[in-house]
C-alpha cells in the first residue's frame, strides 16, 4: 500500500535523556553514550504537554555547522505512558502533507491536485493551494503532539496566530469563491481521533467550531515515527462537531 514518508536528515542520531527546558527553544539533555550534558535546539515552541518530563528518552542529532548557536537539535521524544515516539519538528507535518497530497493518500483530499505551497491571499499566507476540477481549496496544516485519553489535542498552548488563521479561513469560505480546509497532523500514532483542547485555548476552540459551522472542512490524521523518519499512517476523525456543538 502506498503511503507518504519523510526521512530524518542523514546526520547521525543519538539517544539522550531530557533534563530541563530553560526556554521555549532550548533543552538541556544528557547523552546516554558518554553522560555529557548538551544544549539542544527545540524546533517546537509549544508546551509539549505530557512529553517533556525529566528523564524522558529524547533523540537528538548533531550538526556539523560552526555557524549554528547550538550544535544539537531535538528530533523526537518518547512518551513513556505509551512507549510511543513523537516528532518534535513542526515543519515535518507540512513536508509530510505535501508528499501525501502528491501521492493522493489522504482520502478526503485524494481528488485534489496540489497547485502551490505557501499561498498568499490578502495579507495572510496559508500552507497549500489545491484544485479539484475548477474549484480551488486553501489548506492549512496544524501539527499535533499532545495526547489525552487516546485523543490528540490541539493546541497545547494559547495560539493567537492559529485562531487568526481559522477566522480568516472562515471568512474566505463564507465569501464562496474558494473552499477552505484545516488538516491537523498528529505526529504520533497512539491516538484514535483529535479534538480541541478547550481548557487550554477556548478562543481557538470557538473559532474552530464556527469554522466548521460555516463550511470549513476540518480533518485529522496520524503518523508513525521511528529512527528512520515519519510516515503518514491514516486519516482520522477530528471531533470538532461532536465535542463543541
Q: What is the CATH number of the domain that holds 47?
A: 2.40.50.580
Same domain? For 169 and 76 the reply is no
Question: Which of 40, 71, 87 corresponds to the end of one domain?
Answer: 87
| Contact residues for 137 (Cβ-Cβ < 8 A; gap 6+) | 112, 129, 130, 131, 178, 179, 180, 181
Same domain? For 73 and 102 the reply is no
Same domain? For 104 and 60 the reply is no
Same domain? For 101 and 211 the reply is yes
Q: Residue 133 pLDDT > 60, yes or no?
A: yes
Distance in angstroms (rounded) separating the CA atoms of residues 67 and 194: 39
Same domain? For 125 and 234 the reply is yes
Alpha-helical runs (H) found in 75-138: 91-102
Same domain? For 228 and 126 the reply is yes
Same domain? For 96 and 66 the reply is no
Domain CATH for 208: 3.40.1350.60
Q: Which pLDDT band, with edges at 50, 70 and 90, does 124 fall under?
A: confident
Distance in angstroms (rounded) separating the CA atoms of residues 211 and 45: 25
- pLDDT at position 67, please? 79
The verdict on residue 197 lying in a domain is yes
- pLDDT at position 163, please? 96
Determine the average pLDDT of the residues in 87-97: 95
pTM of the model: 0.94
Question: Which of 87, 115, 144 corresponds to the end of one domain?
Answer: 87
C-alpha distance across the termini of the chain, in Å: 36
Distance in angstroms (rounded) separating the CA atoms of residues 109 and 132: 9
Q: Which pLDDT band, with edges at 50, 70 and 90, does 1 fall under?
A: low
The verdict on residue 1 lying in a domain is no
Same domain? For 51 and 160 the reply is no
Task: Choose the weakest-confidence range: 2-16, 68-82, 121-135.
Answer: 2-16
- pLDDT at position 12, please? 86
The verdict on residue 3 lying in a domain is no
The verdict on residue 21 lying in a domain is yes
Is 31 within 8 Å of 14 (Cβ atoms)? yes
- pLDDT at position 245, please? 41
Same domain? For 104 and 222 the reply is yes
Q: Residue 231 pLDDT > 50, yes or no?
A: yes
Same domain? For 122 and 233 the reply is yes
Q: Which domain holds residue 102?
A: 91-243
Q: Where are the beta strands (DSSP E) in the chain?
A: 5-7, 13-23, 26-31, 37-41, 57-62, 72-79, 84-87, 113-121, 124-132, 135-144, 146-148, 151-154, 179-186, 193-196, 217-226, 229-238
Distance in angstroms (rounded) separating the CA atoms of residues 69 and 80: 30
**Between residues 103 and 244, which one has the greater pLDDT?**
103
Alpha-helical runs (H) found in 181-243: 202-213, 240-243
Same domain? For 12 and 76 the reply is yes
Q: Residue 243 pLDDT > 80, yes or no?
A: no
The verdict on residue 2 lying in a domain is no
**Between residues 124 and 188, which one has the greater pLDDT?**
188
- pLDDT at position 11, please? 72
Determine the average pLDDT of the residues in 186-206: 97
Which triple of cell numbers denotes residue 48? 509539549
Please state the domain count of the chain.
Answer: 2
- pLDDT at position 242, please? 42
Same domain? For 109 and 209 the reply is yes
- pLDDT at position 109, please? 98
Amino acid at each position: 500500500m502506498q503511503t507518504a514518508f519523510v526521512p530524518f536528515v542523514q546526520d547521525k542520531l543519538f539517544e539522550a535523556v531530557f533534563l530541563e527546558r530553560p526556554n521555549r527553544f532550548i533543552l538541556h539533555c544528557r547523552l546516554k553514550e558518554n553522560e555529557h550534558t548538551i544544549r539542544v535546539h527545540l524546533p517546537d515552541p509549544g508546551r509539549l504537554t505530557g512529553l517533556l518530563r525529566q528523564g524522558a528518552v529524547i533523540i537528538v542529532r548533531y550538526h556539523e555547522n560552526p555557524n549554528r548557536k547550538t550544535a544539537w537539535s531535538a528530533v523526537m521524544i518518547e512518551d513513556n505512558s505509551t512507549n510511543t515516539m513523537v516528532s518534535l519538528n513542526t515543519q515535518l507535518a507540512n513536508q509530510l502533507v505535501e508528499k501525501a497530497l502528491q501521492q493522493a493518500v489522504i482520502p478526503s483530499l485524494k481528488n485534489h491536485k496540489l497547485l502551490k505551497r505557501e499561498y498568499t491571499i490578502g495579507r495572510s499566507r496559508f500552507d497549500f493551494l489545491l484544485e479539484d476540477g475548477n474549484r480551488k481549496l486553501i489548506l492549512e496544516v496544524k501539527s499535533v503532539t499532545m495526547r489525552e485519553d487516546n485523543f490528540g489535542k490541539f493546541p497545547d498552548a494559547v495560539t493567537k496566530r492559529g485562531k487568526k488563521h481559522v477566522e480568516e479561513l472562515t471568512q474566505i469560505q463564507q465569501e464562496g469563491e474558494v473552499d477552505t480546509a484545516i488538516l491537523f497532523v498528529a505526529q504520533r500514532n497512539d491516538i484514535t481521533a483529535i479534538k480541541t483542547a478547550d481548557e487550554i485555548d477556548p478562543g481557538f476552540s470557538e473559532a474552530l467550531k464556527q469554522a466548521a459551522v460555516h463550511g470549513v472542512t476540518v480533518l485529522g490524521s496520524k503518523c508513525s515515527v521511528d529512527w528512520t523518519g515519519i510516515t503518514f499512517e491514516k486519516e482520522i476523525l477530528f471531533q470538532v462537531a461532536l465535542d463543541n456543538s
